[in-house]
Amino acid sequence: MQELHKKLKEKFPDDVLGTHEQHGDETAIVKPSSLLKVAQFLRDDPEFAMNFLMDLTAVDGLRLGWNPRFQVVYHFFSYGKNHRLRIKVPAADGGSVPSLTGLWAVANWFERECWDLFGVKFDGHPDLRRIMMYDGFVGHPLRKDYPINKRQPLIGPGAIAK
Amino acid sequence: MSTTTYQKKRKENMMLNVGPSHPAMHGIVRMVVELDGEVIVGSDVEIGFLHRAFEKDSEQFGYLQVIPYTDRLNYVSPLINNVGYCMAVEKLFGLKSPERAQYIRVIMCELSRVSDHLTCIAASAMELGAFTVFLYMIKQREEIYQLIEEVTGARLTISYARVGGVKGDLTDGFESKCHAVMKKTREVLRECDQLLTHNRIFVDRVKNIGIISKEDAISYSMTGPFLRSTGVDFDVRRATPYLVYDRFDFEIPVGSTGDCLDRYLVRMDEMEQSMRIVEQAFKQMPAGHVLVNEQGEVVKSEDLVDSAKMGNTEGIVTKSAIVEPTLEGYHKDNRAEVGTCNKRAAMPPKEETYSNIEGLMNHFKTVMVGHGTRPPAGEAYHAVEGANGELGFYVVSDGTGTPYRVRVRPPCFTIMSGLHKIVEGDTLADIIASFGSVNMIGGELDR
C-alpha cells in the first residue's frame, strides 16, 4: 500500500484537514482555498502523477448534520502509476470551490453538473450554466431538501420564454 | 455595391442546429455548430434531454431496488451496470461473491461488451451508408440477446446481478449454445471486416476524421475504446483487475492516430478479445454456489426454513415451484445448489418466495423499506470497464437501508464533454462519423 493520503498530508500539513482510508480507497480532505495548489501538485508531481480527473461530484450532508453542508468529491487516477486518490473539499450552502477547469478540460462539464444538481458554485469556471436541467429551472434537485415529488413541467405557452 | 455585400456576407459564419431530434443522432442531444462554409469552426453540445433523476431516485429506495435502475443506464450492455453497482455495494460490505458467480459475471459482461460494440459499429456504419453491415451485426446481436435472455429471463432490463452474486446459475447447455453463437459471431465479424475495413467508401469517411490527441483525451478523462484509439492502453480490467480478470490471457488493442477508423478497429479487436475471455472462463469455471450472505457465507436454501419451528424441512424445500423465469423455462431442479442469502444481503430465489412462508418473509425483509439490506456507514468507489470506458459507482452509506448517495461516473459523459474538440475543423458531414464512434448512450449520459 502506498498510502498516498499520508504522503499528501506530510507535504501539505496545513492544507490537508484530514485523511482516512476505507475499503482500500484513500481519501484526503483539503481546504477549499488550497485546492488549486494541491490539485496542481497531484497532477505535476512525478510521484503522484494524477493525470486523470476520473470523477467529480458532491454529497449533500444535510441529513448527516455536516457543517459546512456539502462536500465536493474528486476522484483522481494516475495512468502511469496506476493508483487512485479521493480528495474531498468542504463547501458551505451557497459557497464556492475553486474551479479545476484550468488543469483538466473535463472539469468544465463535471462542475457544470455539480452546480446544476447541488448548487455548489465553482470560482473561475468560464461557463457555469445548467447542463441536465433546463434554463429557468428553480432549485437544485439533488439537494436533500428538494422534494422527490416536486414537479416543474416545461409545458404550456410561455414556458420557454422566460 | 452588390459585390461588397456578397463579400461581407461570406465572412459571416452560419449557425446550425443539429438535433435534438435528428435521424443520425444516437439519442437526444443537441449540437449548435458554427459553420464557415462546410467546415465546423465551433460547436456547443447540449445534453440533459433524457435526465430521469437516477441518482435522486436511488436515494429513495433500498439498496437492492437500485439494481433495476442500473439496467436503464446503459441499455445496450445493462449487465455491466448491474455488476458495477453490485460490486460497489459489496465493497461497502467487504463482501466477495463466490468464485462461480464471479466467472458467470465475467462471461455475461463480456457477452454484453460484444453486443454493445456490435450495436455501435452497426449503427455508425449504417449512417455512413453500409446498411448491410447493420443488418448482419444487429442479427448477430439478436443471437447474443437470446443467450442473455435464456439465463436472465429478459433482453434489456435484466437485473441479473445481486449483491453477493447473481440471481441464478447458468442454464443447462448454455456453454455449448454460447460457443455456437461465438463461432457465428466470429464469422459475422470476418464478413463485416471484409465489407468495411478495406472498403474505400467507408475508409474515406472515417480515416483522419474526428482526431483527438492523446493529451486531449486524457485531459477530458476519456476512457475505453476512445482513449485506446489514441495509443494509451488503459483498461480497468488490466489496470485494477476486479472479479477474476487477472486470470485471463487477453490483449488490449490500441490505435495510433485517435481517429474514427482507429476507434472502429479497436472495437472490432476488442470483440475478439472478449470472446477469448469467455472461452477461458468456461474452461476455468468451478462448480459451486452463486450467492452469499452479507457475512460472505454460503447459506443453503434449507436454512431459509426455520427447522425448529417446522420440525422437518423435507418436502418443502426440495419441492420446486412451477415458476418459469425464462421463456425457455427453468427445468433444472437446481435450487438446492443455489446458495441463498440470509436475512439481509441478497434476495432469496423466487422459488423460495413462492413456495414457503420463510422464503416469503425473507423476501419481505429484504425488500421493504426499513427492513432491507444495510451496509455499514461509509463510502466506496468501484470502477469496472464498461463498453465505453470506465464505469464507476460511488456509493455513500449512512448505515440505514437506503443509500445516502449513489453517483455514477458515466463513460459517455466525459467523451461528450470533449465532442466539440473532436468535430472542430471537420466538415458538417463528418459529425455523423465522429458522433457515431462516440457510441453515446442517452441513459447513462443524462441519467
Residue B207, φ and ψ in degrees, nearest 5? -75, 135
Domain of A49, CATH number, reads: 3.30.460.80
Neighbours of B155 (CB within 10 A): 13
Do B321 and B406 fall within a single domain?
A: no
Do B319 and B196 fall within a single domain?
A: no
- Domain range for B320 is 301-367
| Among the ranges given (A119-128, A130-139, B101-110, B230-239), the one the predictor scored with the smallest mean pLDDT | A130-139
User: Using CA atoms, how far apart are residues B348 and B64, in angstroms rounded to an integer?
Assistant: 12
Do B96 and B206 fall within a single domain?
A: yes
Do B33 and B102 fall within a single domain?
A: no
Considering the domain boundaries, does residue A10 fall inside one? yes
Question: Which chain A residues in 97-156 lie under 8 Å from chain B, judged by CB atoms?
Answer: 104-106, 108-110, 113, 117, 130-134, 141-142, 146, 148
Write down the ipTM of this complex.
0.88
Chain B within 8 Å of A66 (Cβ-Cβ)? no
Do B111 and B205 fall within a single domain?
A: yes
User: Using CA atoms, how far apart are residues B440 and B30, in angstroms rounded to an integer?
Assistant: 12
Which regions of chain B are under pLDDT 70?
A: 1-11, 288-352, 369-372
Residue-level pLDDT at B3: 52
Considering the domain boundaries, does residue B268 fall inside one? yes
Considering the domain boundaries, does residue B226 fall inside one? yes
**B216, B398, B409: residue with CB nearest A55:** B409
Do B29 and B77 fall within a single domain?
A: no
Query: Chain B contacts of A126, Cβ < 8 Å?
Result: none
Q: Is B192 helix (H, G, I), strand (E, B) or coil?
A: helix
Do B113 and B262 fall within a single domain?
A: yes
**B47, B220, B394: residue with CB nearest A57:** B394
Chain B within 8 Å of A25 (Cβ-Cβ)? yes
Chain B within 8 Å of A9 (Cβ-Cβ)? no
The domain tally of chain A equals 1
Query: Chain B contacts of A104, Cβ < 8 Å?
Result: 219-221
Mutation site, B32, B89, B417, interface A, largest A CB count within 10 A: B417
The tens digit of pLDDT for each residue in A48-99 reads 888 889 899 999 888 888 888 898 999 999 888 888 889 999 988 888 889 9
Question: Does B380 sit within 8 Å of A23, measured CB to CB?
Answer: yes
The domain tally of chain B equals 3
**B48, B221, B378: residue with CB nearest A22:** B378
Name the pLDDT band for A157 (thresholds 50, 70, 90).
Answer: low
Do B162 and B91 fall within a single domain?
A: yes
Name the pLDDT band for A159 (thresholds 50, 70, 90).
Answer: low
Considering the domain boundaries, does residue B379 fall inside one? yes
The tens digit of pLDDT for each residue in B384-425 reads 988 888 899 999 988 777 888 899 998 889 988 888 888 888
CA dihedral (B437, A76, B110, B75) in degrees, to 10, reads -60
Do B200 and B252 fall within a single domain?
A: yes
Considering the domain boundaries, does residue A120 fall inside one? no
Quickly count helices (H) and strands (E) in chain B: 19, 8
Question: Which chain A residues in 31-50 lie under 8 Å from chain B, judged by CB atoms?
Answer: none
Residue-level pLDDT at B321: 45
Residue of B nearest to A81 (CA): B239
CA dihedral (B78, B81, B85, B87) in degrees, to 10, reads 100
Considering the domain boundaries, does residue B395 fall inside one? yes
Neighbours of B327 (CB within 10 A): 10
Considering the domain boundaries, does residue B295 fall inside one? no
Residue-level pLDDT at B393: 92
Question: Does A133 sit within 8 Å of B381, measured CB to CB?
Answer: no
Taking the CA of residue B420 and the nearest CA in chain A, the distance in Å comes to 12
Residue of A70, A103, A61, A62 whose CA lies nearest to A89: A70
Residue-level pLDDT at B336: 34
Do B19 and B153 fall within a single domain?
A: no
Q: Is A43 helix (H, G, I), strand (E, B) or coil?
A: helix
**How far does Cα B254 stand from its chain's mean position?**
21
Residue-level pLDDT at A158: 61
pTM for this model (two decimals): 0.82
Considering the domain boundaries, does residue B175 fall inside one? yes
Do B240 and B321 fall within a single domain?
A: no
Q: What residues contact residue B223 under an 8 Å CB cut-off, 6+ apart? A: B234, B236, B388, B389, B390, B411, B414
**B232, B381, B405: residue with CB nearest A59:** B405
Considering the domain boundaries, does residue B296 fall inside one? no
- Domain range for A49 is 4-98
Do B272 and B245 fall within a single domain?
A: yes
